[in-house]
Structure 1
Amino acid sequence: MIILSNLIFIFCAYLVGGLNGAILLSKLKGWADPRSLGSKNPGATNMLRLHHAQAASAVLIFDLIKGTIPVYLAYFLHFAPVEIGFIGIAACLGHIYPPYFNFKGGKGVATGLGTLLPLGMDMTGLLVLTWLLTIAVSGYASLAAIITAIAAPFFVAYIKPEYIVPVSMLSILITLRHGSNIRRLLAGKEKKILNWKQ
């Protein structure tokens, strides 16, 4: 019975994760599907490029919250650390493969960060600082996401090591989703966040 309830909770986290903020906002506003324009990634960065900062901020907050809520609920229901970790991964998989949008979603960065917020302000601060510093130095949103994802397991190893396995899995998942970005970065063809339209 316990295993079944855990699986149901994981599946519900996947369904919540599938609610893509960029796609929903675009439908609400009558905008084109963000998967068809710009970087074709339905996330906050592409919404900034296609529209404006307010739209990007709304998408970012939405995608953060949908990752945070299932993890917080699991924590308060006294799920084991590994179970909480898999619930977070399920939310990210929902964002990446949304059942409501033909299983074509984003790269899971904001949702992944949202799942890590319940680990504490120290973890959150380190992740946000890593992302901001990488953006400031390089100007590449994709590189910032990759470096932050890779750094996450190292941070959690010192802060809450009981979550090292699921956080490492999440890190690998997000990094793999940036495979095309990595190839463009190595080839010098990746677009910087502020000169996408130049």
Structure 2
Amino acid sequence: MNTVLLVIAAYLIGSISFAVVVSKVYGLSDPRTYGSKNPGATNVLRSGNKGAAIWTLVGDAVKGWLAVWLVQYFAEPLGVGDMTIALVAIAVFLGHLWPVFFKFVGGKGVATALGVLLALNPWLGLGTLVTWLVVAYAFRYSSLAALIASIFAPFYYGLLFGTEPQLVAVLVMSGLLIWRHGKNISNLMAGKESRIGSKKK
């Protein structure tokens, strides 16, 4: 029963779309109506408001980190183990992708996945973040950076910890991230992908 309640709570935490909330606070257009129409930090940045983009990034990452950190911290008194932690990690990520509070229209999950990885292990999260930063700096494509970081994240986890239940969560998140970037992959191949910092149309 504790596992079910924790998974539901994690999904609800993940369902808080900071891109939409922060945009409303800043008086900006709904990020689902311009640019890539993705409610995430990169698209909010296209509004020209860097502060809103930063807060969106932080909020989406923190919710992923918080859900997983809480279940890890209270795992012993709640009588749950690695499998529950893995399910919570997946649940908070799914909440971001399909948020119940926003008609199941969510983002692609890059920042939330980073928060989850940082909670599972700081070195895992930092390694994945560095991968994203290097690719983003070199090519100026947020989507390409996310795709490559998604591919490397399970490799990093396996290298650090082997085949633990949480590896399944990382694999699921990576697979969903790649799938959610399907249109970006097509745009990259066609040379039509927007670069980081490009303004909304």
* TM-score normalized by the length of structure 1: 0.93
Q: Gapped runs of 5+ residues in structure 2?
A: none
Percent identity among equivalent residues?
42
Tell me how far 1:47 sits from its aligned partner.
1.0
CA distance in 2, matches of 1:118, 1:197: 33
Match of 1:100 in 2: 101
Contact 1:96 1:108 in 2 (8 A): yes
Higher RCO (Cα < 8 Å, 6 or more apart): 2
Query: Is the 8 Å Cα contact of residues 17 and 66 (structure 1) preserved in structure 2?
Result: yes
1:105-127: CA deviation from partner (whole Å, max 9, x where unpaired)? 10011011111112333212211
Q: Is the 8 A contact 1:82 1:166 kept in 2?
A: no
Give the superposition deviation at 1:133.
0.6
Shift of 1:70: 1.0
Alignment-derived partner of residue 142 in structure 2: 141
- In structure 1, list runs of 5 or more residues that go unmatched: none
Q: Secondary structure at the match of 1:40?
A: coil
- Deviations 1:41-98, CA, capped at 9 Å, x for gaps: 1111111111322111111110011101110111112232232122111111111111
Alignment of 1:40 onto 2:37: yes
Which residue of the other structure, out of 189, 192, 197, is the alignment partner of 1:189?
192
What is the 5 A alignment of 1:1-198?
4-78=1-75, 79-161=80-162, 162=164, 163-196=166-199
> Which segments of structure 1 move beyond 3 Å, counting only runs of 4 or more?
194-198
TM-score in terms of structure 2 length: 0.92
The 3-state SS of whatever aligns with 1:107 is coil
Determine if contact 1:70/1:88 at 8 Å carries over to the other structure. yes
SS in 2 for 1:173: helix
Q: Quote the offset at 1:138 in angstroms.
A: 1.1
**Residues in 1 aligned to 2:105 and 2:185: alpha-carbon distance in whole angstroms:** 20
Contact 2:7 2:91 in 1 (8 A): yes
Paired with 1:57 and 1:148, the residues of 2 have a C-alpha distance of 20
Q: Say if 1:107 and 1:178, in contact at 8 Å, map to a contact too.
A: yes
Aligned residues of 1:66 and 1:111 also touching (Cα < 8 A): yes
RMSD: 1.4
C-alpha distance after superposition, 1:129-177 (max 9, x if no partner):
1001101111100000111111100000011221221111111011111
Aligned-residue offset at 1:196: 4.6
Q: Which moved more, 1:34-43 or 1:155-164?
A: 155-164
